[in-house]
């Protein structure tokens, strides 16, 4: 591993010589980061052997809907749900569950919640947070005399998905306005960083949207992410590759040609190195912020 890192340091001193304009035309044409089943962030998906619906996030992980009541605070029907193969679904990490869409504006726009063990009625206010209504008169003033018809019982099993805030809600000034608000917005999901593996020569190529190379991609072997973000590895090499962090903190496992693997980076802020088992010269540098 010391030899790998030494080679990396030398490569960095010469900017690793894999700038976008140095790539072959074939490599330039391939500079893209496909997703599993060619999905787009925001897609609704289910597998062919299950009725469970998932939201495909901007981090290219999936978020499940715990029940239909949660789903229908976000969508009116199931018309846009795509069915994908079980093998494809298994390639998409399950990152969490969707919570009720938050209340927007001064008129009721979602559902209210109550638990089995409390008489309090809660308003979803975003990111899984619940604020208790101060009183029945507050509920009437905010949501009208029929406010009780909007209350759903929150099953005990789903309570851990939420954070119940202290204090009581007294006015609608707390509510945000809705501007194409998505589940990714609600859960504060970040974007995925793409890393490709290429041949001729064998190398890593990471996306970096802060560098303008005409298509928002440049071939660098340095990857910068925030702690908890995801990295998507795409194998464009002709043979199988296994990528792993130098101290075995994480690995993609063996990837066949054209395989896609998404990993969540939980490492503490710092600098790390990763490499391909199959080639000593294939080294990448990971900076976690």
Q: For the chain, give every domain's residue range.
A: 2-30+191-288, 39-97, 112-180
Instruction: Quote the pTM value.
Output: 0.80
Is the confidence at residue 200, as pLDDT, over 70?
A: no
Bridge partners of 206? 195, 220
Order of strands, edge to edge, in the sheet holding 54-56?
81-84, 44-47, 54-56, 62-64, 94-97
| Highest CATH level, class, for 2-30+191-288 | mainly beta
Closest CA to 206 of 224, 219, 215, 216: 219
Q: What is the pLDDT of residue 216?
A: 38
Highest-pLDDT range among 7-16, 208-217, 279-288: 279-288
Q: What is the pLDDT of residue 23?
A: 39
Tokens of 109: 């726009």
Is the confidence at residue 235, as pLDDT, over 60?
A: yes
Is the confidence at residue 7, as pLDDT, over 50?
A: no
15: pLDDT confidence band, cut at 50, 70 and 90? very low
202: pLDDT confidence band, cut at 50, 70 and 90? low
Higher pLDDT, 122 or 279: 122
Highest-pLDDT range among 16-25, 177-186, 234-243: 234-243
Is the confidence at residue 260, as pLDDT, over 50?
A: yes
Supply the DSSP string of 76-108, one letter for each residue.
S-STTEEEE-HHHHTTS-EEEE--PPPPBSSS-
């Amino acid at each position: 591993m010391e030899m790998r890192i030494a080679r990396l340091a030398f490569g960095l001193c010469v900017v690793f010589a894999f700038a976008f304009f140095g790539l072959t035309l074939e490599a330039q044409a391939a500079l893209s980061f496909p997703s599993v089943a060619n999905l787009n962030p925001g897609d609704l998906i289910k597998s062919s052997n299950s009725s469970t619906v998932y939201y495909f996030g901007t981090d290219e992980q999936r978020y499940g809907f715990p029940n239909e009541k949660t789903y229908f605070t976000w969508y009116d029907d199931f018309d846009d749900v795509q069915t994908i193969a079980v093998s494809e679904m298994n390639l998409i990490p399950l990152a969490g569950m969707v919570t009720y869409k938050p209340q927007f504006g001064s008129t009721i726009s979602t559902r209210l919640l109550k638990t089995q063990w409390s008489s309090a009625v809660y308003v979803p206010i975003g990111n899984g947070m619940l604020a208790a209504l101060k009183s029945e008169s507050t509920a009437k003033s905010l949501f009208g005399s029929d406010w009780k018809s909007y209350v759903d019982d929150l099953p005990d099993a789903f309570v851990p998905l939420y954070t119940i805030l202290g204090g009581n809600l007294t006015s609608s000034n707390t509510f945000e306005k809705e501007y194409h608000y998505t589940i990714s917005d609600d859960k504060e999901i970040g974007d995925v960083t793409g890393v490709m593996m290429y041949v001729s020569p064998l190398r890593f190529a990471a996306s970096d949207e802060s560098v303008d190379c005409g298509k928002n991609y440049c071939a660098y072997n340095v990857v910068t992410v925030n702690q908890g973000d995801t990295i998507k590895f795409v194998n464009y090499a002709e043979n199988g590759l296994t990528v792993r962090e130098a101290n075995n903190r994480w690995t993609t496992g063996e990837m066949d040609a054209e395989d896609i693997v998404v990993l969540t980076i939980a490492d503490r802020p710092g600098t790390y190195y990763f490499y391909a088992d199959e080639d000593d010269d294939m080294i990448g540098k990971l900076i976690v912020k």
